[in-house]
Amino acid sequence: MPNFELEEEYQDLVDTVREFADEVVAPVSAKHDEEHSFPYEVVAQMGEMGLFGLPFPEQYGGMDGDYFALALALEQLGRVDQSVAITLEAGVSLGAMPVYRFGTEAQKEQWLPMLASGQALAGFGLTEPEAGSDAGGTKTTARREDGEWVVNGNKEFITNSGTDITRLVTVTAVTGTSTRGDGSVRKEISTILVPAGTPGFTAEKAYNKVGWNASDTHPLTLKDVRVPEGNLLGEEGRGYANFLSILDEGRIAIAALATGAAQGCVDESVRYAKERSAFGRNIGSYQAIAFKIARMQARAHTARLAYYGAASKMLAGKPFKTEAAIAKMVAGEAAMDNARDATQVFGGYGFMNEFRVSRHYRDSKILEVGEGTTEVQLMLIARELGL
C-alpha cells in the first residue's frame, strides 16, 4: 500500500514554516498588500531560515534538501500570503534553479551562495509583449561583439526583477537561426545572465496589479546591454529547451502554492462559519454552507495529492511533465474556485480587502495564468495522450 504520510524531516519543515507563516507573515500581509510594498523584513527572515536554499547542495550555501521540500514550504506560505510565496517560488525555481541546472561551476560559485541565502534575488526574463505562451516568438536579440553579448529587447511580467536586493535576471534572446529539414528557419534561443545595474538594463515602473500586490513585478528594457560572453547560461541555442524543463519543475511549485491558497480559503471559511451567526445559529450549521466548505476541502485535498504525485515522480527521476501539468491545472482551479466560494461564505466581509479571503480572491486568478495558462496545461496533457 502506498504511504502518503510525510517523513519526519518533511513534517518538521511543514510545522516550522506553518508557524512562521501564521506568526510572522500573516500579521503584516494586509499592510503590504494595501501599500503595494515589498516585504523585505519577511524575505530576510525566510533567508535566515534557509528557505531560499532548500533544494540546493550545501557546497553552494543550500540546505541540501530537494524540490519537494520547497513545495511543502510554498504550500504553507501560500495559505496566508501568496505574494510572499511567489517571491520564494520565483526566487528559487526561476531565479536560482537555472544557474544550478545549467550554469558552469564558476557561475554557480559566483551566484548560488547569495541567491540560496536569500540576501539576493534573481528573476527570469522569458515573457515579452508578443511572446507569452508562445515563447518561441521571442524577439529579444543578443549578438557577439568584441568578446561580449550585446542584448536588445523588452520583457514583461518579470517577478523579482526590481527589488533593492535583485542582483540578476536571466534573459532569453535570439542568438542565431538554423534551417530545418523542411527548409523553414528556426530561431536559436539562448539564455544570458544580466546582472542588475548593467548599463542599458532598466526595470521599468512596477505594474499596478489586480493581486500579488506585495510581489515585485516589472517590465524590463534592454538597450545595447553588454555582458561578457561568459555570461551565456548553458549551451548556445538550448536556452528555450532548457527553460521548458525549468517550467516543468516550476509547475509543481506553483501547484503547491495554489494548494496552500485553496487550503487557506478552507481554514478561513471554517473559522468564520463557526463564529458568524444568522437566524440564531452559526452559519456552519446550515447545510448550504457546510456542503460548500466540504467541497472546498475536497478540492484542496485533490490538489495536494496531485502535486505530491508529480513531485514523487520527479524525485524518482521518472518523466513527470504530464503529472506536473495536471497538478498545476488542478491546483490553480482549486485555488480560484475556493477563493470564490470563501468570499461567498464571508458575504459582505469577503469583499473587504482587509480580510484574507478577499486577497485570495484577487490573488488566485493569476494561478490559472502564470507559468503556463490552464489552456497550455490542457494542451500538454492532450499531447501526451497522443491527441
Confidence of residue 274 (pLDDT cuts 50, 70, 90): very high
What's the pLDDT score for residue 134? 75
Q: What is the mean pLDDT of residues 364-375?
A: 94
Using a cut of 0.85, tell me whether the model's pTM lies above it.
yes
> Which residue among the candidates 128, 333, 368, 371 is catalytic per the annotation?
371
Distance of CA 64 to the CA centre of its chain: 21
28 and 143 part of one domain = no
Region 30-59: mean pLDDT is: 97
CA distance 334 to 341: 10
76-96, pLDDT tens digit by residue? 999 999 999 999 999 999 999
d(CA 140, CA 351): 41
1 pLDDT above the threshold of 70: no
Domain-terminating residue out of 121, 152, 186: 121
Alpha helices by DSSP H, 227-276:
239-275
The boundaries of the domain holding residue 23 are 8-121
Q: What is the pLDDT of residue 3?
A: 64
171-204 pLDDT, tens digit per residue, is: 999 999 877 777 677 889 999 999 999 999 999 9
pLDDT digits (tens, 9 = 90+) for 291-313: 999 999 999 999 999 999 999 99
Locate 386 and state its grid cell. Answer: 497522443
pLDDT at position 224 over 90 = yes
105 and 215, same domain (yes or no): no
Is residue 371 part of the annotated active site? The answer reads: yes
pLDDT in tens, 236-248: 999 888 888 888 9
What is the Cα–Cα distance from 111 to 115, expressed in whole angstroms? 6
Q: What is the CATH number of the domain that holds 308?
A: 1.20.140.10
- Residue 189 is which amino acid? I
User: Is pLDDT larger for residue 372 or for residue 337?
Assistant: 337
CATH number at residue 72: 1.10.540.10
